[in-house]
Amino acid sequence: MKNTIRQVFHSSKFLVGFIIFVAILLTVWIYPFFNPGNPLEMIGVGTFAKPGTYVSLYDALNTRTETLRLPDADHKRVSYLLSDADRVSMLEWFDIMDIDVSGLDATDTDALLDLWFKNYDPSVKPKGMTQAKRNFYKRLDKSVQQIRMADTLKVMHPEEGELVERSSVTKTDYVNVGDVANVKALPLGTDNFGRDVLKELVSATGTSIIIGLIAGIVATLIGLTLGLLAGYVGGLVDDIIMFITNIFTVIPSFVLLILISYSIGQEQRGATVVALVIGLTSWTWTTRSVRSQVISLRSRDHVNLSKLSGHSLVRIIVTDILPYIASYVVMAFILQVSSGILSEAQLSLLGLGPKTTVTPTLGLMMNWAMLYSAHTNGSWWAYFPVILTITLISFSLNLMNTGLDQVFNPTLRD
């Protein structure tokens, strides 16, 4: 036994898979200590805030400033504030006005703005241009002028119906982020409901792994029991069990899963219920393979001797059959966990997963991202990390399985 475990950990494939899986588990366990609270709390009001560090503007204005004179600050500020869409609009204007833009690089902000200020005239009414479009250009011009011109921003404070100047901010004022009271890091931004995606993802990973484990345990237990009975007892019992198993095998389990989930109804579908349903529809494969292993074992001499010793059916199954197929069952269990997690993701993506308000799961996060068109509006952070996590979990489990396979079936070893 000790020897087998040592051998298992010497298999590099198993080790890599094991390390990835344990790392995921540790993250799920430790992260909430650093970032406690409800993972479904809506901290943002808008949808899909970009990943990054958010600094409270109010607090920043009230923070002691230092003066830094950085040579390229002006240039950077202008080019940051001038969006790509604005640049394209400017180029369109030049085109309409037949202005030669050859040799102009649209990313060269200074050259672009020079050309703009030289040529833009709000009073010109180009032919075919709508009023709305002309107003758009007027607003664009105004904002660009502000970027360039304003040296100081005044911070006003209302006092007895009058605005009183409280402080002013110049272009050379800087605050230390560490001095600002409220800074929020959102490494994966927020989702469609304004929730912290990273926090949600960690919590969802935990739930999904639990769903996978429950589904795996249920499927393995059912499959193992039926497989042992069918294989060892044989005869009529075998015929009945295999009849049921074949029916379940012929009906695609995913269709069954969809139908059962739908008939349970949205309100009753908690994470545990979904896990049980997945487990109840995926045991056939384990039954079939355990049965065939047991059939080859039951005619072995040590089983016959155990019978002759007068041992009971249960004792023979537990002590003379089960240990021989244990490694196989462990491998089947790992695969069941992996496919349980994937099944939950598939179900949830269809909107048949656990009810949406209690706990996040990986599948639900994908479902939300899809419903709010994260994939079409470029909010990759709402779904890509989820896909990556599902892939990593299933990759690590499958790697562990292959590693075990190599140890237990030495003929496969390379």
Partner 1 sequence: MSEKRERKDFSNGPLCLSGRGVTKVFGLGEKKTVAVDHVDFDFHEGEFVSIVGESGSGKTTLSKMLLGLINVSEGEILFQGKPRDIGSGRKKREYWKGIQAIFQDPFSSFNVFHKIDSVLLDCINIRGGRGLSKEKKIEMMTEACSFVNLKFAELTNKYPFELSGGQMQRLMIARIFLLRPKILLADEPTSMVDACSRATILDMLLDLRDETGMTIIFITHDIGLAYYISDTVYIMEHGRFVESGKADEVILNPKAAYTKRLISDVPKIHEEWDLSTVDLKTE
The C-alpha atoms of residue 58 and residue 284 are separated, in whole angstroms, by 61
Give the position of tokens 């899909």: 48
Q: Which is nearer to partner 1, 126 or 323 (CB)?
A: 323
- Residue with smaller CB distance to partner 1, 249 or 306: 306
Encoded tokens for 155: 């911070």
Q: Which is nearer to partner 1, 161 or 310 (CB)?
A: 310
Select 4 or 35, whichever has its Cβ closest to partner 1. 4
CB of 313 to partner 1, least distance (A): 8
**Which residue lies nearer to partner 1 by CB, 200 or 320?**
320
Strand stretches in 209-280, DSSP E: none
Residues at the site binding partner 1, with contacts judged by CB under 8 A? 300-302, 304-310, 313, 319-320, 323-324
CB 8 → partner 1: shortest distance, Å?
17
The phi and psi torsions of 168 (rounded to 5 degrees) equal: -130, 150
Smaller CB distance to partner 1: residue 184 or 300? Answer: 300
Residue closer to partner 1, measured from CB, 91 or 295: 295
- For residue 257, the tally of other CB atoms under 10 A from its CB is 22
Q: In the structure encoding, which two tokens stand for residue 52, read together?
A: 């990054």
- When the beta carbons of 114 and 239 are compared against partner 1, the nearer one is 239
For residue 248, give the amino acid letter. F
Closest approach, Cβ 301 to partner 1, in A, equals 4
Q: Which of 413, 392, 394 is nearest to 27 (CA)?
A: 392
Nearer to partner 1, 1 or 45 (CB): 1
Angle 302-308-312 from CA coordinates, rounded to 5°: 90
For 126, the 3-state DSSP assignment is coil
CB of 324 to partner 1, least distance (A): 8
CA dihedral 72, 78, 81, 86 (to 10 degrees): -140
Least distance CB 305 / partner 1 (angstroms): 6
3-class secondary-structure state, position 110:
helix
Q: Which is nearer to partner 1, 90 or 229 (CB)?
A: 229
**Do the Cβ atoms of 43 and 194 come closer than 8 Å?**
yes
Q: Which of 388, 300, 291, 298 is nearest to 332 (CA)?
A: 291
Question: CA dist 138 to 19, 89, 131, 298, Å?
Answer: 59, 12, 10, 88
For 65, 125, 225, 295, 304, the CA distances from 238, given in Å and listed in that order, are 81, 88, 12, 11, 19
Q: Minimum distance from CB of 401 to partner 1 (Å)?
A: 23
Half-sphere exposure of residue 292, counting CA atoms within 13 Å on the CB side? 6
Report the distance separating Cα 204 and Cα 78, nearest Å. Answer: 41
The pairing of strands 152-159 and 66-67 is unpaired
Shortest separation between residue 193's beta carbon and partner 1, angstroms? 54
State which residue, 320 or 344, has the beta carbon closest to partner 1.
320
Residue 282 CB, shortest distance to partner 1, in Å, is 29
Query: CA-to-CA distance for 314 and 312, rounded, in angstroms?
Result: 5
**Nearest distance, CB of residue 309 and partner 1, angstroms:** 6
For residue 238 the two structure tokens come to 């075998």
Cβ 303 to partner 1, closest distance in Å?
9
**What are the two backbone dihedrals, phi and then psi, of residue 166, each rounded to the nearest 5 degrees?**
-105, -45
Pair type for strands 173-174 and 66-67: antiparallel
Residue 369 Cβ, how far from partner 1 at the closest point, in Å?
50
